[in-house]
Chains A and B, each alone.
Chain A
């Protein structure tokens, strides 16, 4: 028995070493995708373990759904797509390591994935150095453009600013900011404070908890004592579980002090528990309840593949859409070459579940409709407001005077 355990330990140690050696490969050459044969490989890079897995596994599933659908209808340029899935493990250096592995060892034509801005910032130089494409499916803080990244989630003016506009229209003047301690919440809160200053709103406090933190009693106390009108929540991952449990325990309610969240969608609502979240607000571009034939088809296909109890969410929709956008770009370029794909990207459209989306070739972001939703007792999100039409992406907030000093 002891010998068995020792042998097991040795195996664990060896496999850990094996994973580490993938890190090599620092060629400066442009990555050559392997498109010989009748398949084309794409990389899926998501956290399948760790604090972000609660969110990112659903994105991986959604990417696989899009790939299966495309393969069933004949593939891309006559080739079947073969996904290579890697686990970023909620750890940013691991993301960079796996991105390099996908590009230089698997020789993928494009990579889909990442969720946190920290992971995106970690892989950005890898994709730029190798001249390989990343499709990033999650809303983020803006103030970024990369020639090798397509951003299919919302940028600031398609999510955070509409959310602030909504709060303002509801008479919520005093807000409290709670976020995870890393890139996205800190930058987003800088933008929120600039917005508040220009729009007669007051930010009463700003608190950050380490990513993955589960001790929120003090923050809940501070929020409660601040007597704010609303809370703007940029917590990521399962810290939200602890935060909303504590919020309810402190006697705070959606009616008295609503929380607007920009990083929890249907899947997270389900695992946090609708009883902690009912009545709270979210800002996204898509909900499972968004009307339209494309969405009905997407929701049905997803549930048929992964289970009737599985909800669909905004990042999943953006991920699903990103595969189709890549396909359309490749077909327009008649090539898998990243440079040609990029050149073909401007004006590409797709009838996405969220409605029609269009690629803005200049910023490599897409036009998206902003939607504010209210979480129901059943865990689904009902839209309470939308922007009416897709909003042009403005990652550097050039269209807003108050954003002049941000960078």
Chain B
């Protein structure tokens, strides 16, 4: 029994990691229709930010807390810069954004290799996050890893913050207006260029936050972004492009599915089965779990 509960928790925690890495992408790919292949490298930037901060701040706990907003700003700034330099010229050519951002991702990886060296690096997790809490004691204890609980909390906080921003703030209303009908938004006096850049800043910043979280799970390296970017795209596409609700549900469903299959088969087989399940689902519902209703003509 505790095995099943433990495995459920593992699934939810894998889902939380998926959610964090896909969240920013759901804004830039989903809402703005930009296929940003460099999103993974913004995650990497967040992870390296954590690494750099830990070199100058001796307490691992404080450096982690400082890293969260700093990584958001660093990756967000990188994203805004990318948007301003390249992507804003390509909004009507989504396939070109794929190529351009892929090129940028290769450059960023090489840049990281030049700055931090090719071998991967690690950060120290604060002591409180290396332990676990016992949920059910006894001979067959059920324990939850503190680092996983932290990531789960972080993912949920990020979702709530993003949802509230989109729902309640003037900026959020402008973003939604631009997404639903760019031309109408423009003639209504919304500076769509500025809205685009801000949305890109937020989406990329969330990638930085995901990077901070990933330092608690594994190593930090120049190619860590490419390892997660496919999973992030899968979550978005299956969830329904531009749908926060779909992203959240699908991240957790895929996490649990992955962990259940891993437990009953092997890691590699589980990955294949998850992909097969996704392909089958998209045959049945090509638009994903949720779709955006819009009055836009294009």
Asked if A and B are interacting partners, one says yes
Report chain A residues within 8 Å CB of B13.
217
Contact with B along A244-273 (1 / 0, CB 8 A): 011011110000000000000000000111
Question: B86 on the interface (CB 8 Å rule)?
Answer: yes
The residues in B between 163 and 193 inclusive whose CB is less than 8 angstroms from any CB of A are: none
Partner of B107, one of A12, A54, A245: A12
**Complex Cα spacing A221 to B216, Å:** 18
Would A49 and B3 count as touching, CB distance under 8 A?
no
The answer to whether A245 and B267 have CB atoms under 8 Å apart is no
| A2-B86, A53-B120, A241-B122 as given contacts; A214 in contact with B227, CB under 8 Å | yes
Residue from B110, B118, B131, B143 within 8 A of A50 (CB atoms)? B118
A219 touches B267 (CB 8 A): yes
Q: Tell me the complex Cα distance, A2–B10, Å.
A: 45
B221's partner among A1, A51, A210, A213 (CB-CB below 8 A) is A51
Closest to A5 in B: B85
B85 touches A222 (CB 8 A): no
Known: A217-B14, A248-B130, A251-B141. A209 touches B217 (CB 8 A): no
Interfacial chain A residues near B148, Cβ < 8 Å = 217, 249
A376 within 8 A of B: no
The listed residue with most B CB atoms (<10 A of its CB), out of A181, A221, A241, A273, is A221
Would you call A241 and B218 a contact (CB within 8 A)? yes
* Shortest CB distance B60–A (Å): 11
Query: B86 to A12, Cβ gap below 8 A?
Result: no
Contacts of B266 in A (CB 8 A): 207-208
User: What's the interface size class on B, roughly?
Assistant: 35 or more
Instruction: Pick from B113, B118, B125: contact of A245, CB below 8 A.
Output: B125
A8: interface (CB < 8 Å):
yes
Is B221 a contact of A208 with CB atoms below 8 Å? no
Task: Identify which of B17, B103, B122 contacts A9 (C-beta below 8 A).
Answer: B103
Q: How far is the CB of B110 from chain A (nearest CB, A)?
A: 7
Scoring B residues 1 to 19 as 1 if CB is less than 8 Å from chain A, else 0, what string do you get?
0010011001001100100
Q: Is the CB of B223 within 8 A of A50?
A: yes
B interface footprint on A71-99 (CB within 8 Å = 1, 0 otherwise): 00000000000000000000000000000
Contact yes or no, B86 A181, CB < 8 A? no
How distant is the Cα of A181 from the Cα of B113 in the complex, in angstroms? 26
Across the interface, which residues of A come within 8 angstroms of B281, CB to CB? Answer: none
Query: Which residues does chain B contribute within 8 Å of A222, judged by CB atoms?
Result: 263
Q: Given A49-B118, A54-B119, A57-B119, are A221 and B263 also a contact pair (CB < 8 Å)?
A: yes
B146 proximity list for chain A (CB < 8 A)? 249
Q: Contact string, B254-282, partner A, CB cutoff 8 A, digits 1/0? A: 00000100110011100100000000000
Which of B110, B119, B263, B268 has its CB near the most chain A CB atoms (within 10 A)?
B119
Known: A251-B132, A273-B124, A275-B130. A218 touches B218 (CB 8 A): no
With both beta carbons as reference points, the residue of chain A lying nearest to B214 in the complex is identified as A214
Interface residues of B in 120-138 (CB under 8 A from A): 120-122, 124-125, 130-132, 134
Residues in B with CB closer than 8 Å to A271 are 119-122
| 1/0 contact string of A354-365 vs chain B (CB within 8 Å) | 000000000000
Please give the distance in Å from A294's CB to the nearest CB on chain B: 28
Chain A positions 33 through 67: 1 when the CB is less than 8 Å from some CB of chain B, otherwise 0: 00000000000000011110110010000000000
Option from B120, B122, B134, B147 in Cβ contact (under 8 Å) with A249: B147
Interface size on A, residues (CB 8 A): 43
Task: Verify if B219 is at the interface (C-beta below 8 Å from A).
Answer: yes
Question: What 1/0 flags go to A212-241 for Cβ under 8 Å of B?
Answer: 111101110110110000000000001001
A403 at the interface (CB under 8 A from B): no
Q: List residues of chain B with CB within 8 A of the CB of A251.
A: 131-132, 134, 141, 143
Whole-angstrom CA separation of A249 from B13 in the bound complex = 13
The reply to whether the CB of B66 lies closer than 8 angstroms to some CB of chain A is no
- Evaluate contact between A245 and B143: CB separation under 8 angstroms: no
Contact flag A238-B85 (CB < 8 Å), given A12-B107, A218-B262, A218-B263 = no
Q: Which residues of B contact A219 (CB under 8 A)?
A: 262, 267
**A217 to B214 alpha-carbon distance, docked (Å):** 13
Across the interface, do A207 and B118 meet the contact criterion of CB distance under 8 Å?
no
Given contacts A245-B147, A246-B145, 16 further A-B contacts (CB under 8 A): A53-B119, A54-B119, A207-B267, A214-B214, A214-B227, A215-B217, A217-B10, A217-B145, A218-B7, A218-B10, A221-B7, A221-B263, A222-B263, A238-B218, A241-B120, A249-B145
**Which B residues form the contact surface with A (CB < 8 A)?**
3, 6-7, 10, 13-14, 17, 85-86, 103, 106-107, 110, 113, 118-122, 124-125, 130-132, 134, 141, 143, 145-148, 214, 216-219, 221-223, 227, 259, 262-263, 266-268, 271
Closest 5 CB pairs of A and B: A214-B218, A249-B145, A49-B118, A242-B218, A218-B262
